Structure 1
Amino acid sequence: MTRIAVINPNMSVGFTEKVGLQARRIVAAGTEIVALNPQFGPASIEGYYDEAFASVGLLATMRGLEAEGASGGKISGYVVACFDDTGVDAARCLTKAPVMGLCEAALRFAAIVASRFAIVTPMAVSVRPLEHLVSKYGASSQCVVRAAGVRTLDFEGENADMAYLALKISAENCLAEDGAEAIVLGCAGMTDIADRLQAELGVPVIDGVSAAVKLIEAMGMLGLQTSKAGAYASPPVKTYDGIFAEFAPVA
């Protein structure tokens, strides 16, 4: 059985429920989804500062799952359910299982169905971090990043309709002004509106949650693991001081 852990690295239980529901909706029979968020961290991830602290909670959650897997219920792969790809490189050092962030997965999918595409993210503070990721993943010549001008948590509760309208307007502008042929949703909390937006825009709309889950599912079925030959090798054993003492790498 393929067992995928979908970890929302912020503390929004509503977002975690959303991504878990979407993941379970699209996986094949026999694939189990474990959706969870850390025990500590920011309410949402909006920029570099939030990302730094959220990474620690993510790694703590993964360490727990890896320890549980040693005695049964092993995780086949991990999805980091944040479009900032929070802590993904560090997470790959903790496990042999493949680890995928939403941005990387979504860009891989988008490049297959469109020659030019746009990421629409909630807040302007996220634009530069996402542009850095776009460059890292080799998509700078194909992709632009735009902000809808709403808060990440606006996609929950009473502000959801307003946030959707702002997102749609921003996406329409990308199609009209940036030459985009597809839209990438730049937040895990948008996972439940991808089908609606795609129907209304008439172009492919890529949800990073779905893209990452399907890629990790395929990797698990193929038996692919994270290479430990270089950058993603297990961290060297050493002591960590203060509040990070429990995170010290062990043999």
Structure 2
Amino acid sequence: MSRIAVINPNLSTGFTKKVGDQAKRIVADGTAVLALNPQFGPDSIEGYYDEAFASVGLLSVIRDLEAAPEQLADPVGGYVVACFDDTGVDAARCLTAAPVMGLCEAALRMAAVVASRFAIVTPMPVSVRPLEHLVSKYGASSQCVVRAAGVRTLDFEGENAAMAYGALKKQAEICLANDHAEAIVLGCAGMTDIAQRLQAELGVPVIDGVSAAVKMIEALAMLGIRTSKAGAYAAPPSKAYHGVFAGFAPQG
């Protein structure tokens, strides 16, 4: 059996359940899914400030899983960071040899297979520039634009869900008409449960980062492909950390 861990870096247990349920729906028989979130950090991740604090919580979850693999029936073969900001992904790759994938990277790579031009629709304007930086990092700037629906991330839960969906759909339609997008990428993990509905209503591919990342990590885990430790993702050298970060000091 292969086991993948899907980690929501914020403290929204509703989002954690949502992404975990989606992962379990789409994995192959024989793949187990462990859906988790940290015990500390922000309720949601909306911009650079939230991301900085959420990264530490993410690393705490991976550190604990890597330190006590005997507590699991099978070791973790790969990690999905269930945040579209790809929060802490590079740091996580230094902490484990298992492959680690963020939602933005996975969604962009999958979208490029089915469309020559596409748009990320994210909830809040504060997330637009950070996502544009990620689009550039992943080499997709010539293919992708980033737009905001103008709603809060947590609006996709509870009583505001219908309103948030309407705002998302409206912005997606604008992207198709004005940006000449041929596909829509959902720029938030909390949108994972509406991808199929939106795809049916828009008539173009809609890429959900949760699904894209889960399937990519599942494939890597099944193939036994590990993160290279020959360069940038090598384990950090041993040194002392101080204050509230003392427990995160790398052991080399």
Common fold, TM-score beyond 0.5? yes
Task: String of CA shifts for 1:25-70, please: whole Å, max 9, x gaps.
Answer: 0000000000010000000000000000000000001000101215
The 1-side partners of 2:62 and 2:216 are apart by 19
Structure 1, unaligned stretches of length 5 or more? none
Q: Which residue number corresponds to residue 227 of structure 1?
A: 228
Q: Which residue number corresponds to residue 18 of structure 1?
A: 18
The 1-side partners of 2:211 and 2:248 are apart by 31
- 3-state DSSP of counterpart to 2:6: strand
Q: Which residue number corresponds to residue 219 of structure 2?
A: 218
Q: Which residue number corresponds to residue 92 of structure 2?
A: 91
- Are 2:56 and 1:66 aligned? no
- 3-state DSSP of counterpart to 2:182: coil
- Are 2:9 and 1:46 aligned? no
The 2-side partners of 1:61 and 1:151 are apart by 26
> 1:74 Cα deviation (Å)?
1.0
Q: Percent identity?
A: 80
- 3-state DSSP of counterpart to 1:82: coil
The 2-side partners of 1:172 and 1:153 are apart by 22
- 3-state DSSP of counterpart to 1:32: strand
The 2-side partners of 1:242 and 1:144 are apart by 41
Structure 2, unaligned stretches of length 5 or more? none
The 1-side partners of 2:91 and 2:68 are apart by 19
Q: Which residue number corresponds to residue 137 of structure 1?
A: 138
- 3-state DSSP of counterpart to 1:214: helix
The 2-side partners of 1:67 and 1:204 are apart by 40
Q: Which residue number corresponds to residue 106 of structure 2?
A: 105
Q: TM-score, normalised by structure 2?
A: 0.99
Q: Which residue number corresponds to residue 37 of structure 2?
A: 37
Is the 1:116–1:142 contact (alpha carbons within 8 Å) kept by the matching residues of 2? yes
- 3-state DSSP of counterpart to 1:76: strand
The 2-side partners of 1:68 and 1:155 are apart by 34
